[in-house]
Amino acid sequence: MLSIKNLNVAINGQQILKNLNLEIKAGEVQAIMGPNGTGKSTLASTLAGKEAYEVLSGEVKFNGKDLLEMSPDERAREGVFLAFQYPVEIPGVSVTNFMKAALNAKRRHFGLDPIEAKDFLKLMKDKMALVEIKKEMMSRSLNEGFSGGEKKRNEIFQMAMLEPSLCILDETDSGLDIDALRIVANGINKLRDKDRSFLVITHYQRLLTYIVPDVVHVMFGGKIVKSGGKDLALELEEKGYDWIKEEVAAEA
Amino acid sequence: MSFADKIVSEFELAAKNLNGEKESSLFAMRKEALSSFQKLGIPSNRHEEWRYTNIKTQLPETLSVLSGNASIVEKNGFNNFKEIKATRLVFFNGVFSKELSSIIEQTGVTVGSLKEHLHHNKPVTEKYFGVLVKKYEEHFSVLNTAFATDGAFVHIMKGVTAEFPVFIIHLYNSPENFTQTRNLIVAEESSKLNVIVDFQNLGSASFYNHVSEVFVGKNADVNVTKLQTATANTTAVHTLEADVERDAKFTCTTISLEAKLIRNTTNVRLSGENSEAHLNGLYYAKGTSLIDNHILVDHLVPNCQSNQLYKGILDEEGTGVFNGKIFVKQDAQKTNAFQSSKAILLSDEASINSKPQLEIFADDVKCSHGAAIGQLSDDEIFYLLARGIHKADAKSILTYAFASQIIETIAIDELKVYLDNKLKERLHLDF
C-alpha cells in the first residue's frame, strides 16, 4: 500500500525527516508515537502534499504509484486521507456542500457521474451515524464554532464518506475527552477493512487501547528508531520516552 | 463642443417642447440643477472623488441624455423574478411600462410612474423630489435632476406596513443614450417597506445615470436591495440619497456582480436622533470590470448608529474602488459608527483602491473602521485540496464562502436563493 524509502524532508530550510523508512501493507494499522517535535506531523503533512514541506530526497510509493509526483488533490482522489490535527474553520461553506464537492471530485476522477441527491443524502445519513453526528451539523459552516470533539468527529465522518485506502490520523486523539475519544475510535474501527490501511500518529497510548495497532513505531529525531507490536505502546506509556532517547544516544 | 456643453444644449432643446411646464417649480428646479451641472461638468480622474474611476473616458461624447425611442421588450425578454411575490414596476430605457408592470393594490401604498406623480401628485413630489440631491450636489445627481423624467414612485402612508416588496426593474438596451432614470421612495412615519431595485442590460451596451432618493420618516423601517447582477457591458453611475429621521432604520444592500464600469454612490444622512443605517455591499469585478463604491454616512445628530460592511472579489484584471466616509458632526455625540471593507484579490492583475475616511467633530463617539485586502488563505485551500477538490474549485468555494456573508443579510428568502445561484454561476460552482 505505502512504501517510504530514505525520505528526507525540510521545512523553511531546516531538515526534519532524516532517511525515514516505512512500509504499510493493505489492511494494516500502524502507529507512530514519539515526543513532540520529532517530525510525526511533518510526515503526515508531507504524505498529504502540503506545499511548505520540501522533499529533499527519497521515494514514496502509494499502490505502486509515485506519490510525490502527485498534487495534494490528486493524492486525495487516489485514496490518501489526512485527518487533520487542527481542522480549519471555513465560514460560509456548509459541511454538506463541502462533502458533495469532495465526493464528486473523486467520482469524476474515476469516470463516474456526480452522485444523485437522494443517494447522497442516504450516504450522509449512514456515515453520520458512524460517528454519532447530529443532522443539524450538516448545514452548519465547516468546523466553524465546532467543539474540539465535533471537529475530530467531522474528520472521521469525512473519511467515512470518501472511503480512502490510506488513512493518516494526525493526533486525532488530542483535545478529546474520554467520551469523544471512544466515539471517534469506534468510528475508525468500523472503517477497518482488509483493503484499507491506517497510519495513526499519536503522542499518547490511550487511543491505541481502542484502535489496536498491528505495528507500533517510535519516531525520534526525524526517523523511526524502534518498532514493535502493540505492547510497545504500553511500555512507552509506562516508561516515557527518555529511555528511547538514551538508547539512541548510546548507539550514536 | 465638450460633452457637458452638448448636454446643456440638449436641455435647451427639450425645454422648447415644454410649453406651459416652463412656469412650474419643477422646471425651476431642473434649471437650477442644470446650472450646477454646468459648473461641475463631467469629472475627470483629476477630481479626488473620481481618481480611480475615469468615467470621463468611458462615456462616448456622442451619447444623448434625452430619452431614446423605447422599442418594445417582450414579456419574457427579461428576468421579472416571478418567484418573488411583489409589486412590480418595470421601466424600459427610463420609461414606465404599464404592460410589463403588475401592482398589488394596498391601501396606504402608492406606487407607479414618477412621471405621472410629478404631474398629478404634487403635494408629495414637490415636498420631496430633488431635495436630497441638493444636499450634496454631485456631478451626476444634479445632471439627473435636470433631465430625468421617469422612474419609480413609491409612497407609504403613516403607520402602513407594505405587505409585499416593491420590485423596481430598470431595463436598458439603448447604446446611443446616456439614460437618466430616477426613483423617489417616501416612507412616512412608522411605515415599513422593502424595495428591490434591479438593473438589467438587454442591449449590446448600456450607459445610464440613476438616482434614487429615499426618505425614511420617523420610526420607519426601509430596506433597499440594489441588484446589478445582469449588467454586463454596462457603464453606469448610481446615486442613492437617503435621509433617515428619528428612531428610523434604513438598510441598503448593494450587490454588483457584473459591470463594465459601475459607480455606486450611497449618501446617507442620519438626521434624526436614535436612527440607524446598515449599509452592506458585495462586488465582484472580473475581466476588465471596474466597480466603485463610494459611501458617505453623515451623522448629523446625537445617538445614532451606522454600520458599513462591504466585501469585494477582484479577479483577472478586475478593479475595485472602496471609499467609505463617516462624518460625525459636532452635535452628533454618542455616535456609534462602524465600517468594514474586505477585499480579496484572485489574480496578480486584479486591484483594489480602498480608502476609509473618518471626519469626526464630536468628542464622545465610538467609531471604528477596518480595511483588509488579501488573498485566500493557503491553509483553507489546502484543507479542500486534501479532500480531493481541484485547486480551481477550492478557490471558487472559498470565494463563495467569503461572499456569502453579505448574501446572508438579504431579508427575502427567494432573493437570497437567486443571488446564491447567481454567485455560484459566476464562480462556476455546481454544488
Is B298 a domain residue?
A: no
Is B150 a domain residue?
A: yes
Q: Is A98 on the interface with B (CB under 8 A)?
A: yes
Q: Is B394 on the interface with A (CB under 8 A)?
A: yes
CA distance A106 to chain B (A): 6
| The pairing of beta strand B206-216 with beta strand B192-201 | unpaired
Both B268 and B383 in one domain: the answer is no
Condensed to tens digits (0 to 9), the pLDDT of residues A94-143 reads: 999 999 999 999 999 999 999 999 999 999 999 999 888 888 888 899 99
Q: Is B393 on the interface with A (CB under 8 A)?
A: yes
Both B396 and B260 in one domain: the answer is no
SS3 A130: helix
Separation of alpha carbons A174 and A176, rounded Å: 6
Condensed to tens digits (0 to 9), the pLDDT of residues A177-204 reads: 888 899 999 999 999 999 999 999 998 8
- Cβ distance of B401 and A51 shorter than 8 Å: no
Q: What is the predicted ipTM? A: 0.95
- Which of these, A151, A93, A160, lies nearest to A129 by C-alpha position? A160
- Of all residues in chain A, what percent carry a pLDDT higher than 70? 100
Is B352 a domain residue?
A: no
Q: Is A116 on the interface with B (CB under 8 A)?
A: no
Number of compact structural domains in chain B: 2
Is B103 a domain residue?
A: yes
Using the predicted structure, report yes or no on whether residue A223 has a pLDDT greater than 80.
Answer: yes
Separation of alpha carbons B413 and A135, rounded Å: 22
For residue B327, give every residue at least 6 positions away whose Cβ sits within 8 Å of its Cβ, in sequence order, or none: B296, B297, B298, B299, B359, B360
**What is the predicted pLDDT for the residue at B131?**
97
Chain B residues touching residue A90 (CB < 8 angstroms)? 380, 383, 398, 401
- Cβ distance of A77 and B378 shorter than 8 Å: no
- Nearest chain B residue to A92, by CA: B401
Chain A residues touching residue B379 (CB < 8 angstroms)? 88
Q: Which of residues 42-61 of A touch B (CB under 8 A)?
A: 48-51
- Nearest chain B residue to A164, by CA: B387
pTM of the model: 0.90
CA distance B282 to chain A (A): 14
Full domain range(s) for residue B422: 378-431
Q: Indicate the residue among B272, B290, B324 that finishes a domain.
A: B272
Both B253 and B384 in one domain: the answer is no
**Along the 431 residues of chain B, how does pLDDT read in single tens digits?**
789 999 999 999 888 877 667 788 999 999 999 999 999 999 999 999 999 999 999 999 999 998 766 667 788 899 999 999 999 999 999 999 999 999 999 999 999 999 999 999 999 999 999 999 999 999 999 999 999 999 999 999 999 999 999 999 999 998 999 999 999 999 999 999 999 999 999 989 999 999 999 999 999 999 999 999 999 999 999 999 999 999 999 999 999 999 999 999 999 999 999 999 999 999 999 999 999 999 999 999 999 999 999 999 999 999 999 999 999 999 999 999 999 999 999 999 999 999 999 999 999 999 999 999 999 999 999 999 999 999 999 999 999 999 999 999 998 999 999 999 999 999 998 77
For residue A197, CA distances in Å to A27, A128, A163, A215, B92 come to 5, 21, 11, 12, 65
**Is residue A21 within 8 Å of residue A224, measured between CB atoms?**
yes
Q: Which residue bears the cell 404599464?
A: B98
Task: Tell me which residue in A50, A91, A100 faces B382 most closely, judged by beta carbons.
Answer: A50
Separation of alpha carbons B196 and B225, rounded Å: 5
**pLDDT-derived band of residue A243, with 50, 70 and 90 as boundaries?**
confident
H or E element in which residue A101 lies: helix A95-109
| Domain locations in chain A as residue ranges | 2-89+165-251
Using the predicted structure, report yes or no on whether residue A217 has a pLDDT greater than 70.
Answer: yes
Phi, psi of B231 (to 5 degrees): -130, 40
Is B16 a domain residue?
A: yes
**Is residue B373 within 8 Å of residue B351, measured between CB atoms?**
no
Separation of alpha carbons B285 and B261, rounded Å: 9
Separation of alpha carbons B336 and B304, rounded Å: 6
* Set of cell numbers at residue A201: 500518529
Both B389 and B268 in one domain: the answer is no
**What is the predicted pLDDT for the residue at A251?**
76
Fold of A2-89+165-251: Rossmann fold (3.40.50)
Q: Indicate the residue among B243, B272, B301 that finishes a domain.
A: B272
Is B404 a domain residue?
A: yes
For residue B278, CA distances in Å to A92, B242, B244, B250, B343 come to 21, 12, 11, 6, 19
Burial class (CB in 10 A: 0-12, 13-18, 19+), A248: middle
Separation of alpha carbons B288 and A85, rounded Å: 41
Is B328 a domain residue?
A: no
- Nearest chain A residue to B404, by CA: A92
**What is the predicted pLDDT for the residue at A239?**
86
